[in-house]
Structures are given as structure tokens and as C-alpha cells.
Structure 1
């Protein structure tokens, strides 16, 4: 194990899982060399962005125990409690509260243990009266002019879902401060890539990322950093979706 990977691994697991050094020394050696040394040194992705991507991927793949263990390290890497909470909130639109609730509880407990005062400062910028209009405007900003009128589009029997997409998914979440739009689209990409089975949406959000400045090279860097956490099959699917998005 290199000194860099040993330092990272020790900081990540020392409190909750230090026994891995004793029970699984070979795994600890080759996994940490790969995940905490070889992978981070592959590209120039900054530590803050890398950490946001990994945390989002852990939410997407339901890695709640590792997510909880990584939070103190994330704070050390200048990821703020507000950014973490905003990520968890936004994940609800893509995974549902059934899969996000454990992460919200885990973050609250970890932040309390770290001495972070809860609740955190509010990040809302809209009201219940303008959420649909504001959300649809963000859809236009992110996906393009074809999204104008989306909230009132589609077959009558399912039109309410399009309205919810504008007002809830984008209005309630994307209009909040704490993360900028490039960061929000990146973590959405990670949610979708990590949970799998969402390839049409992953292609759409890969294209949206590219449209607002997270280009193909950036997305490949993000996928690369997530490989130790979500595995190769979903990572390779994400690479294919990025290529499809580039064609579109």
C-alpha cells in the first residue's frame, strides 16, 4: 500500500471499520491502492468535485454505510454540510424518499456528532406560487428552448406528471442555493449512473451536462472516479450513454 492510499484509507475507516486492516489485509491493500491512489491520480479532477461525485454515486447505489463513514472526510475536503444536504434533498427526485431517507438520517446523525447545528440555513429562492414557472425556466436553461411549455404538455391523463417535473423536480430542488447548476447536473448524472436502469434519462442528463459546460471529458473523469464505488457494469453503461448523448 502506498503512503497516500494508506493515509486515505486510514482516515476513512479508522473509527468504524479499522478491523479491516486485521481481518482483510490483502483486500485492504489492493483496493485502497486502486481506489485511493491510482484512481484519483488518473486525472486532474479537483478534490471537491471528486468528493461530490462519489457521495452522489453512493446515494445512487445505496451505499449508506460508506456514505456515512465518508462524511467527516468530505467535510475535511471542504464539502460543506449545506452541499451534502442539498445533494440528499435533490436525490429524492431521482430515487424517491424510500431510498433517500436512510441517507438523510445518517447525515443528520453524523453532523450532530461533528457539532454541526441543525437545521442548516434555508436555501429556498422561490415560493409555492412560482415554483412551476421557475422550474420550467430552469428546464429551458438546462435542456434548451424545446422545454418551453413543458408543464402543460403531454396527454391529458398524464399531464400532471409533466407539471410535477417542472414544479417539483426542478422548481423545488434546482432553484435552491447551496449547489450551482453545473454541480446539480453532475450529481444527477451520478445518481442515475449509480442506480442503473435509467439509461434514457442518463443520456438526457449527459446531454444536459454537456450543454451547460460539463463536457464529455469532464463526464468521463467523473465516471472514472466513481468506478470503485459503483463497479464496472454501471460505469461502462454510463460511458455508452455519454457517447450517445454526444451524438445527439
Structure 2
């Protein structure tokens, strides 16, 4: 084992008992994640700095409901430069794509961790809308991300399900995407990770892969993002995500 590999396996699981109970897994998984995946050229990109890499990994762990792994990795993300506001925004936005029931345990993990680090809660407000402006702001966000065809989308569709389109505009985009803390490229990237990680959302995943391309996250970057998340998602969902990215890129070409 190289010195880098040894440091990788040790650093990844330094705060667990796994090194004693499962040393073989710690060795080969830790080496794979912290050495091979981390530095693989195909899994990297000029836009893939350490903070971005950790954003993607944490979003993927939220999506796949990896509570213990999320608790293990979040301190490393903060040590790598992720801010408390960015961390909270990742968790908040997950609510729109995973549901409050699945996100609540992660919010507890984050709050305990930040409190242990002496961070005063609540953090500074990041909302930029009011109850009166959220619908219009959300629609504008949809237009900016997906294109002009989203204008008036909230009022379209079958009458019995039209309220969902309205909620997408005023809640999903008006309440979440308009917040501070993360820019639109970061928000679309973590959305891609939420969708890739939970599986069964391929139509939405393809749509948001296209949205990522529109806001400036190029295909190679998206493949790098998914590749960095692969150890936490497994190969099937990773390959599904890459297929969706490729389909979106082909459509955009």
C-alpha cells in the first residue's frame, strides 16, 4: 500500500470503529475513494474543487438516505471549506426532491454537528422572496433554468393536477432556488445528485441534466460529479445517471 493510500483509508474512517471490526473494507474502500476516485482524471474537471466535490457527495448521501455516511462525511466537508450556510442550503433544498420525512434526520445531524463546532443557530436568513413575490420569482427561476417555455407553466396541465405545477413554481423554485448561499449552478448540480441517488426518477434526472447544461455545468463536469459520487451510490445508479446526462447532452446538441 502506498503512503497516499494508507493515509486515504485512515483519514476516511478515522472517526469510526470500522478499522478494528472491518479492516479489509476500510483498506480497499478507503483507498478506492480517497486515492483512485478522487484523483481519476475522468472523475475530475476544472470546476471540481474540493468544496464542490463535497457538495456533490453530501447531496448524493441525502438522496440515497445514507444517514451514517452523511454524519461521517459532513465534518470532512466542513474541514474542506464548505460553509455552514452552504451545508444547510443543501439539506433545505433536498426537502423539495426527497420530502421532509426523509430530510428531517439529516437536518438533525447537521444541527448537532454545527452546535458541537460552536456555530450559533439559526444561521443568517437566506430567503429573498416574500409570500407575495415567491410565485413570480419561482417562475422566473424556472425560465432562467429551463427556458422561455416555462412561462405560464404554473397555469397549465390537466385541471386535477394543475396545483402541482403551481407548487413547482412557487414552492420548489420560489422558496428554494431563490435563496442565497448557493448559486444556480450549484443548486442544479445538487439536484442532479439528489435525483441520481434516489433512483426511479430518470425523467426528472434527464430534465435536470439538461437544466445543468443550460446553466453552464457542461457534460464532462456532470460526469465527473456523478463519478465522484459513485462509491456512495453504487454502479447501477451511477450508470443510469450517466445515461441520462448523455441523453440530455444529445438533445441539447
Give me the TM-score of the superposition, normalised by structure 2. Answer: 0.94
Query: Is 2:97 the partner of 1:94?
Result: yes
Asked whether the equivalents of residues 62 and 94 of structure 2 are also in contact (C-alpha less than 8 Å), the reply is yes
Partner residue, 2:4: 4
List alignment gaps of at least 5 residues for structure 2: none
Residue-by-residue CA offset, 1:184-216 (whole Å, 9 max, x unaligned): 000000000000000000000000000110011
Partner residue, 1:239: 242
Residue-by-residue CA offset, 1:72-103 (whole Å, 9 max, x unaligned): 11111000010010010000000001110100
Partner residue, 1:123: 126
Partner residue, 2:21: 23
Q: CA deviation at 1:4?
A: 3.0
Aligned residues between the structures = 246
Partner residue, 2:117: 114
Query: Is 2:36 the partner of 1:38?
Result: yes
CA distance in 2, matches of 1:229, 1:6: 20
2:73 corresponds, among 45, 62, 70, to: 70
Residue-by-residue CA offset, 1:154-197 (whole Å, 9 max, x unaligned): 11111111110000000000000000000000000000000000
CA distance in 1, matches of 2:148, 2:2: 50
CA distance in 2, matches of 1:82, 1:3: 35
CA distance in 2, matches of 1:210, 1:150: 21
CA distance in 1, matches of 2:38, 2:212: 22
CA distance in 2, matches of 1:4, 1:128: 52
CA distance in 2, matches of 1:2, 1:111: 34
Q: CA deviation at 1:14?
A: 2.3
Query: Is 2:159 the partner of 1:156?
Result: yes
Report the RMSD for the aligned CA atoms in angstroms: 1.1
CA distance in 1, matches of 2:221, 2:65: 24
Structure 1's consecutive aligned runs of 4 or more residues displaced over 2 angstroms after TM superposition are 1-15
CA distance in 1, matches of 2:120, 2:187: 24
Asked whether the equivalents of residues 196 and 238 of structure 2 are also in contact (C-alpha less than 8 Å), the reply is yes
Q: CA deviation at 1:9?
A: 3.9
Q: CA deviation at 1:46?
A: 1.4
